[in-house]
Structure 1
Amino acid sequence: MATLRIRLSLLLTYFVFAILLNSVGTVVLQVIHTYQISKSAASVLEGFKDIPIAVVSFLIAAYLPRLGYKRALQLALTLVTAACVLMPLVPAFWTTKLLFFTVGASFALVKVSVYASIGVVTRSKAEHASLLNFIEGGFMLGVLSGYWLFSAFMDPAAPQSSGWLQVYWLLALLCVANLVLLSSTSFPTPELPAVQPFRQDFIAMLQLVYKPLVFVFVLSAFLYVLIEQGIGSWLPTFNNEVLALPNQLSVQLTSIFAASLALGRILAGVVLKKISWYSLLNGCLLAMALLIILTLPLTHDIHVDADVSLLSAPLAAYLFPLIGLFMAPVYPVINSVILSALPKAQHAAMTGLIVVFSALGGTTGSMVTGYTFANFNGQTAFYLCLLPLSLLLLSVGLFHRQSKLVTV
């Protein structure tokens, strides 16, 4: 029973953070209208989320076992509850920045704690893989639910209304409910690693990057997240301004992107039993480029009816988010390849690098896309994804070569 409660706590924590972390695109669209700010200004929200994830993960990952995974999760949920409550009470752009800063810093605690706790409550590799996939599935369900949850609090007739901020009362309530469950659940005491100075942990992490396989990996991870966050953060605004769809419908249709990512990862697990990971990723990256080239021309000269609905939106609104289907396998596969190539003693340091470069890629992607969107147009912003996509195709090729030639 205790193990079941722990698993449920981990799942619900990940679910809540999935909603908040992936609400950036929705919130970008809303703050542009509600607070009358520019796209370039709104694009910094991704940085307020991602940079704290990178910094906090980098600084305290090695010390979390001493703090305790349960305490770390409780701290994260408490901070995020307070930030959610502040959003409707003090409606301002600075509170939105504070929210994402808090969510990012807290998620760094959550991700390390959840992943480490999975190892504590499972007894075999098969059980570990099963629980990890189950919790990651809960994360994707949270992402998908978030788009519909936020859209339910939007008023299509008043896009500048601040009524959407009321969603944060519900999110705060979810955090409190999970905090109660977590506080009443006993966690096993983890085995503490040997104490060593922070400087040694820091140097050990940086030394990994000097290895050719790791260097090519972090480049690939950076480019992938740059593309994913560039599209994910700006797709609601693209639907609203380029496809001329109402705010609420723009967010609802963005859920196709999240659903495609979830489905793509499920299907990849089946396909990888039959073909090599390198063949799969090459096919996925080429399909992404083809979808961009074929779909974006359909977004020009769009005219929609005033009573446009979920079933009568332009074709491009359904087709472009399907890029998530081909994007989905890339990140989990390259993470699996690099971790499988490393001894377990280096997994913590490698996880730190994964988090850091993923966060930097996400921030860069959102800001570059936002700048291009503001100074050119939405089509140009998304066409620009072809450049990092081409570089990613090249880096994955180098990664494949190094994975065969180099023993890390």
Structure 2
Amino acid sequence: MASSTQPTPVQSTRFLKLLIFLMFASFAMTTDSVGTIIPEVIRDYKLGMTAAGSFHYASMSGIGLAAILLGFLADRFGHKATILLGLGLFCATCALFAVGNSFGIFVLLLFVSGLGIGIFKAGALALIGDISHSTHEHASNMNLVEGFFAIGAVIGPAIVTFSLQNGFSWKMVYLVAAALCLMLVVGTLFAPFPKHRPKAIDEKPADMRDALRLLSDPFALFFAVALMLYVGAEAAIYVWAPTYFADYTGNYVWLAAYLVSIFFILRAVGRFFGAWLLSKLNWTVVVAICSTAMALLFWVGVAGGRDVAVFALPATGIFMSVLYPTMNSTGISCFDKSRHGSIAGFLLFFTCIGAVIAPLAMGAVGDMLGNSDYSMILGSLFATLLAILCLWNVARQPIAKKLAERNAEDYGSIDPADVNVRPIS
């Protein structure tokens, strides 16, 4: 099948990458600030962990619904139009935080902002595939993109902390995101995108059923499950770790106060390192090593208590860093470029399912047992299941043949690492 896009000049590609980098940083500032905001919401509105967690569930639900129902927009109408639509929606809802003043309104705004994120993220993920020249380069580019996401995830909580310490509202982070997003809308409007090639006349136009059909595809389901487990483990730290350490009075109180920021800093550094690491090792080896190390650190933290967890939990960021972008980009690379919007939306949907169900379960367990320790235990179980899946993947190599086929058809090259494999059956 012919590629869905035409090559773009080097300067245009660099500008598009910059836009994508900043898009991911902008929404990370809001989605990854919730762990810092939730303790304030609990105190201001007299809520339990489960109810206050709506600040996280709402945006993730919006992202997930937009991803599975509207991911096809990028394939049908082009990446530029889709990105502009999503960015505009996200920008507007972030700006409206300035006038909102009730918990219900905030949750509604977060849900709608999630819809915007889901729309433009699916378009941006598909665009990354268009400006990559091989499935291997796709994975490296995704790690760079997620590196900027991690930078946004550091900046967001820092803005919230700075605002609260200086007598301002936590809503400041949404206003900063709105300003950045407005600049991105202007940049995207005038940016030269690769020419969109609609499907041939004898092919059906892309619609939401394209994503639903992926439910029967073993490659899509493999990555969907892996991503759900990953975000379940990640949410244990950036959503519930601040609550887990809220009453901590041990020897490292100063460190606990900055635990989420340290986690995101280590994850940001690790993602840039991951782009280099993937140029040296097969992706299956990288994710197996990193997922196993992450799981071990979780259990070290659980076994050692808070005095040990204050070091072990943020350290997981080093190993988490490479997992999401590598698995996500590899999953997208398994499919023809003309379907990248649909598969990106499909995987994003399951990512959000994990990001809603896992912290919801952690909050419910913490409320039911009156102890947030069990939230960390549940996160450790998610990390362990992911490590087992990744170890099986490196032993069986079920994806490599599919990647070799896509390299040959979409990019005109074959990575020697993608042969002599056992396909998923």
Q: What range is the shorter-chain TM-score in?
A: 0.7 to 0.9
Question: Which residue number corresponds to residue 45 of structure 2?
Answer: 35
Unmatched 5+ residue regions in structure 2? 1-10, 400-420
Determine if contact 1:242/1:299 at 8 Å carries over to the other structure: no
RMSD: 3.5
Q: Is 1:252 paired with 2:269?
A: no
Question: Which residue number corresponds to residue 307 of structure 1?
Answer: none
Residue 369 of structure 1 deviates from its aligned partner by 1.2
Residue 12 of structure 1 deviates from its aligned partner by 2.5
Residue 97 of structure 1 deviates from its aligned partner by 0.9
Work out the CA distance in 2 between the residues paired with 1:286 and 1:8.
32
Work out the CA distance in 2 between the residues paired with 1:37 and 1:244.
26
Work out the CA distance in 1 between the residues paired with 2:139 and 2:387.
28
Q: Is 1:231 paired with 2:252?
A: no
Work out the CA distance in 1 between the residues paired with 2:140 and 2:328.
17
SS at match of 1:405: coil
Normalised by the length of structure 1, the TM-score is 0.81
One-letter amino acid matched to 2:376: F
Work out the CA distance in 2 between the residues paired with 1:256 and 1:244.
18
One-letter amino acid matched to 1:96: F
Residue 319 of structure 1 deviates from its aligned partner by 3.3
Work out the CA distance in 1 between the residues paired with 2:16 and 2:139.
16
Residue 292 of structure 1 deviates from its aligned partner by 2.4
Q: Deviations over 1:184-234 (max 9, x none)?
A: 545454222347667x85555444433444433322222222221232211
Q: Is 1:324 paired with 2:334?
A: no
Instruction: Quickly say closer, same or farther: Cα 1:210–1:131, change in 2 above 3 A.
Output: closer
Residue 279 of structure 1 deviates from its aligned partner by 4.2
Work out the CA distance in 2 between the residues paired with 1:8 and 1:385.
33
One-letter amino acid matched to 2:291: L
Structure 1, 183-192 or 35-44: larger mean CA deviation: 183-192
One-letter amino acid matched to 1:102: V
Instruction: Quickly say closer, same or farther: Cα 1:14–1:280, change in 2 above 3 A.
Output: closer
Instruction: Quickly say closer, same or farther: Cα 1:285–1:69, change in 2 above 3 A.
Output: closer
Question: Which residue number corresponds to residue 58 of structure 1?
Answer: 68
Work out the CA distance in 1 between the residues paired with 2:254 and 2:298.
24
Q: Is 1:375 paired with 2:365?
A: no
Instruction: Quickly say closer, same or farther: Cα 1:94–1:407, change in 2 above 3 A.
Output: same
Question: Which residue number corresponds to residue 84 of structure 2?
Answer: 74
Q: Is 1:138 paired with 2:144?
A: no
Work out the CA distance in 1 between the residues paired with 2:114 and 2:137.
29
Residue 267 of structure 1 deviates from its aligned partner by 3.4
Residue 17 of structure 1 deviates from its aligned partner by 1.2
Structure 1, 81-90 or 99-108: larger mean CA deviation: 81-90
Q: Is 1:333 paired with 2:326?
A: yes
Instruction: Quickly say closer, same or farther: Cα 1:334–1:38, change in 2 above 3 A.
Output: same
Determine if contact 2:58/2:110 at 8 Å carries over to the other structure: yes
Determine if contact 2:252/2:310 at 8 Å carries over to the other structure: no
Work out the CA distance in 1 between the residues paired with 2:172 and 2:329.
39
Q: Deviations over 1:40-62 (max 9, x none)?
A: 10123322112221221222222
Percent identity between the two aligned chains: 27
Residues 108-123 of structure 1: pairs in structure 2 closer than 5 A: 108-118=118-128, 122=131
Residue 153 of structure 1 deviates from its aligned partner by 0.2
Q: 1:240 aligns with which of 218, 225, 246?
A: 246
Instruction: Quickly say closer, same or farther: Cα 1:180–1:228, change in 2 above 3 A.
Output: same
Work out the CA distance in 1 between the residues paired with 2:304 and 2:424.
47
Instruction: Quickly say closer, same or farther: Cα 1:81–1:202, change in 2 above 3 A.
Output: closer
One-letter amino acid matched to 2:373: Q
SS at match of 1:37: coil
Unmatched 5+ residue regions in structure 1? 301-313
Question: Which residue number corresponds to residue 6 of structure 2?
Answer: none
Question: Which residue number corresponds to residue 215 of structure 1?
Answer: 221
Structure 1, 262-271 or 221-230: larger mean CA deviation: 262-271
Determine if contact 1:69/1:117 at 8 Å carries over to the other structure: yes
Q: 1:25 aligns with which of 32, 35, 40?
A: 35
Work out the CA distance in 2 between the residues paired with 1:170 and 1:83.
12
Question: Which residue number corresponds to residue 395 of structure 1?
Answer: 389
Q: Deviations over 1:304-347 (max 9, x none)?
A: xxxxxxxxxx6643432111222223333333544454454554
Determine if contact 1:218/1:354 at 8 Å carries over to the other structure: yes
Work out the CA distance in 1 between the residues paired with 2:335 and 2:76.
25
One-letter amino acid matched to 1:384: L
Determine if contact 2:30/2:174 at 8 Å carries over to the other structure: no
- Size of the aligned set, in residue pairs, is 389
Instruction: Quickly say closer, same or farther: Cα 1:335–1:183, change in 2 above 3 A.
Output: closer
Work out the CA distance in 2 between the residues paired with 1:148 and 1:326.
22
Q: 1:362 aligns with which of 351, 355, 363?
A: 355
Instruction: Quickly say closer, same or farther: Cα 1:390–1:106, change in 2 above 3 A.
Output: same
Determine if contact 1:264/1:325 at 8 Å carries over to the other structure: yes
Residue 25 of structure 1 deviates from its aligned partner by 1.5
Structure 1, 233-242 or 253-262: larger mean CA deviation: 233-242
Determine if contact 1:222/1:357 at 8 Å carries over to the other structure: yes
Determine if contact 1:225/1:362 at 8 Å carries over to the other structure: yes
SS at match of 1:406: coil
